[in-house]
């Protein structure tokens, strides 16, 4: 297998990076480019300490799915202080490694802060991933390290940075959550992250809900992809999910301005571990395409009981999925989405008479081949207060990746008032004229439901090269009203 092929597969974004300008993962745009190279010219992730690479006598290198220099996953994906996170890690060749844990936040602009470092650990070569009917699982890997989360840790999104003695590096995201009351609950879309995970990107075994390999190492499309995928495996490439940066953009901005945040994963919402009455609003900060029935019911109950909902991306709640236990009985470790394959109804919410517009106020319209301006509408509305925006103003590059709009023939949710705050034309990949819309409505309970209708909203909050003051101010106007700030 040639080095050129291996490099191609190391990206972790092979299938979507070209068509989605906001899908390349969280590197390298979270800090200035001067922070991305160590003394040997090797790229260093923004949340990693370059001194770690120097301590090994050379630069760090990203592990890949072909050689599996160091790769790992955690179970569970989210835990509270006082609980434990188990790390399952393979190291090839066997050698010592360490785990540095970072918490995502503002931290004076650094993007993250190191929380703890493991002792030096002995790495082993774990068994090869098991594969059956395109489902790839590493549930049989031995536990390598148990992280007991101290009671004093702050809740939040975390990244574990795995580094071998000879300088290879990989990453694992996880969440520290609690059930205490807060103004806003941030829900990290781990179900959608896993749906895109092609691990292992080795030209043979890996599969996601979008792609799989054939016997000649060619990447196959959706018709040949997996129907069921496992959370018991690393993320492809560098170990960070596709689209994870969308959530990190929001987190850095919101923590910078002091919003009272709690954290949970989509699987927490699915499993009933989220009590919406503890929060003024639920925030869905990034691409959140795959929803189970319990997730949808929980969000609808939240809205109907007065908890606001904030959707900062597009293509939300498009596919209906099921979750099942792993072979060892751990709950919610297998994700199934039949899409249009096999017997039974389609898994599209809109094709089982539950269109997503009935919750969001708008719904998925299609891909946006090239970023286009968001065109402001109803600029007199309070959302646009202080932005300086006027009707027809264009916010450059803000309609990107994928877009939502209002579908007139699809029923709307029950509402006391409703408004569209942007109407933005763009051309699809066939050259046909389409449009994007941004929606806000107030439910009879008083809850506000906002849907940005574009992938580029969260990046406009805190991503270098994409920040826009008008989107920052509009988002603050929305959250301040939800949080009842003066």
**Tens of pLDDT, residues 136-184:** 999 999 999 999 999 999 999 999 999 999 999 999 999 999 888 999 9
Q: What one-character-per-residue DSSP string does 148-188 give?
A: EPPTTPPPEEEEEEEEETTSEEEEEEEEE---S-EEEEEEE
pLDDT of residue 9: 35
Structural domain contains residue 306:
yes
pLDDT band at 46 (very low <50, low <70, confident <90, very high): very low
Structural domain contains residue 251:
no
Residue after which a domain boundary falls, among 204, 230, 256: 230
Q: Please say if the pLDDT value at position 375 is more than 80.
A: yes
Sign of CA dihedral 448, 451, 457, 459: positive
Non-local (6+) Cβ contacts of 99 within 8 A are: 87, 117, 118, 121, 145, 147, 160, 161, 162, 163
Termini Cα distance of the chain:
61
Residue percentage of the chain with pLDDT more than 70: 86
Residues 180 and 286 in one domain: no
Structural domain contains residue 332:
no
pLDDT of residue 55: 42
Structural domain contains residue 375:
yes
pLDDT of residue 343: 64
Structural domain contains residue 346:
no
Residues 187 and 285 in one domain: no
Residues 9 and 144 in one domain: yes
pLDDT of residue 220: 87
Residue after which a domain boundary falls, among 168, 199, 230: 230
Q: Please say if the pLDDT value at position 225 is more than 70.
A: yes
Structural domain contains residue 335:
no
Residues 113 and 160: beta-carbon distance below 8 Å:
no
Average of per-residue pLDDT across 193-206: 91
CA angle 210, 354, 265 (to 5 degrees): 55
Average of per-residue pLDDT across 66-76: 95
Residues 90 and 220 in one domain: yes
Residues 83 and 156 in one domain: yes
Report which DSSP code applies to 315: S
Q: Which two tokens stand for residue 372?
A: 């286009």
Residues 179 and 279 in one domain: no
Q: Please say if the pLDDT value at position 17 is more than 60.
A: no
Half-sphere exposure of 144 (CA within 13 A, CB side): 28
Residues 314 and 219 in one domain: no
Residues 218 and 291 in one domain: no
pLDDT of residue 344: 60
Number of independent structural domains in the chain: 2
Q: Please say if the pLDDT value at position 58 is more than 90.
A: no
pLDDT of residue 386: 98
Residues 190 and 78 in one domain: yes
Average pLDDT score over the chain = 87
Range of the structural domain that residue 62 is part of: 3-230
Residue percentage of the chain with pLDDT more than 90: 73
pTM to 2 decimals? 0.90
Of the listed ranges 38-47, 52-61, 83-92, 251-260, the least confidently predicted one is 38-47
Structural domain contains residue 403:
yes
Structural domain contains residue 198:
yes
Residues 75 and 129 in one domain: yes
pLDDT in tens, 258-310: 999 999 999 999 999 999 999 999 999 999 999 999 999 999 999 999 999 99
pLDDT in tens, 340-363: 666 666 689 999 889 999 999 999
Report which DSSP code applies to 276: G
Average of per-residue pLDDT across 393-415: 96
pLDDT in tens, 420-479: 999 999 999 899 999 999 999 999 999 999 999 999 999 999 988 889 999 999 999 999
Residues 117 and 145: beta-carbon distance below 8 Å:
no
β 130-132/78-79 pair status: unpaired
Residues 404 and 457 in one domain: yes
Residues 222 and 280 in one domain: no
Residue 129 is part of a domain; what is its CATH number?
2.60.40.1930
Average of per-residue pLDDT across 53-68: 68
Instruction: Give the helix, strand, coil percentages of the chain, each rounded to 5.
Output: 20, 35, 50
pLDDT in tens, 110-125: 888 899 999 999 999 9
């Amino acid at each position: 297998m040639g080095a050129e092929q291996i490099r191609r597969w190391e990206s972790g974004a092979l299938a979507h990076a070209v068509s989605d300008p906001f899908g390349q993962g969280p590197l390298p745009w979270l800090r200035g480019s001067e922070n991305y190279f160590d003394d040997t010219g090797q790229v260093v992730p923004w949340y990693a300490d370059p001194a770690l690479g120097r301590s090994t006598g050379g630069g760090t290198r990203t592990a890949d799915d072909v050689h599996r220099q160091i790769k790992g996953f955690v179970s569970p994906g989210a835990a509270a202080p006082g609980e434990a996170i188990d790390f399952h890690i393979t190291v090839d060749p066997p050698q010592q490694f360490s785990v540095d844990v970072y918490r995502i936040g503002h931290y004076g602009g650094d993007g993250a802060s190191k929380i703890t470092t493991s002792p030096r650990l002995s790495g082993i070569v774990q068994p090869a991933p098991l594969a059956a009917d395109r489902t790839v699982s590493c549930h049989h890997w031995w536990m390598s390290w148990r992280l007991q989360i101290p009671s004093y840790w702050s809740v939040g999104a975390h990244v574990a940075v795995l580094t071998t003695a000879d300088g290879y590096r990989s990453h694992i995201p996880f969440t520290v959550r609690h059930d205490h009351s807060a103004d806003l609950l941030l829900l990290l879309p781990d179900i959608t992250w896993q749906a895109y995970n092609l691990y292992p990107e080795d030209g043979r075994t890996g599969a996601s809900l979008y792609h799989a390999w054939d016997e000649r190492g060619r990447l196959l499309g959706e018709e040949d992809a997996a129907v069921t995928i496992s959370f018991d495996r690393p993320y492809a490439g560098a170990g960070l999910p596709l689209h994870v940066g969308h959530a990190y953009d929001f987190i850095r901005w919101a923590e910078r301005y002091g919003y009272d945040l709690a954290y949970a994963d989509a699987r927490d919402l699915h499993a009933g571990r989220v009590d919406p009455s503890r929060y003024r609003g639920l925030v869905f900060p990034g691409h959140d395409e795959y929803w189970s029935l319990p997730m949808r019911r929980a969000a609808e109950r939240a809205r109907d009981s007065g908890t606001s909902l904030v959707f900062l991306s597009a293509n939300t709640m498009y596919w209906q999925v099921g979750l099942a236990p792993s072979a060892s009985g751990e709950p919610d470790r297998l994700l199934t989405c039949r899409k249009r394959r096999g017997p039974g109804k389609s898994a599209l919410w809109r094709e089982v008479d539950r269109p997503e517009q009935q919750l969001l106020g708008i719904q998925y319209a299609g891909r946006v081949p090239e970023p286009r301006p968001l065109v402001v509408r109803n600029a007199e509305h309070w959302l646009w207060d202080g932005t300086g925006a006027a009707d027809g103003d264009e916010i450059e590059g803000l309609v990107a990746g994928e877009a939502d709009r209002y579908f007139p023939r699809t029923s709307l949710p029950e509402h006391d008032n409703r408004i569209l705050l942007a109407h933005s034309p763009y051309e699809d990949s066939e050259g046909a004229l389409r449009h994007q819309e941004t929606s806000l409505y107030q439910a009879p309970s008083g809850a506000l439901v906002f849907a940005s209708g574009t992938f580029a909203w969260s990046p406009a909050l805190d991503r270098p090269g994409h920040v826009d003051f008008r989107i920052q101010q509009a988002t603050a106007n929305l959250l301040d009203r939800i949080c009842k700030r003066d």
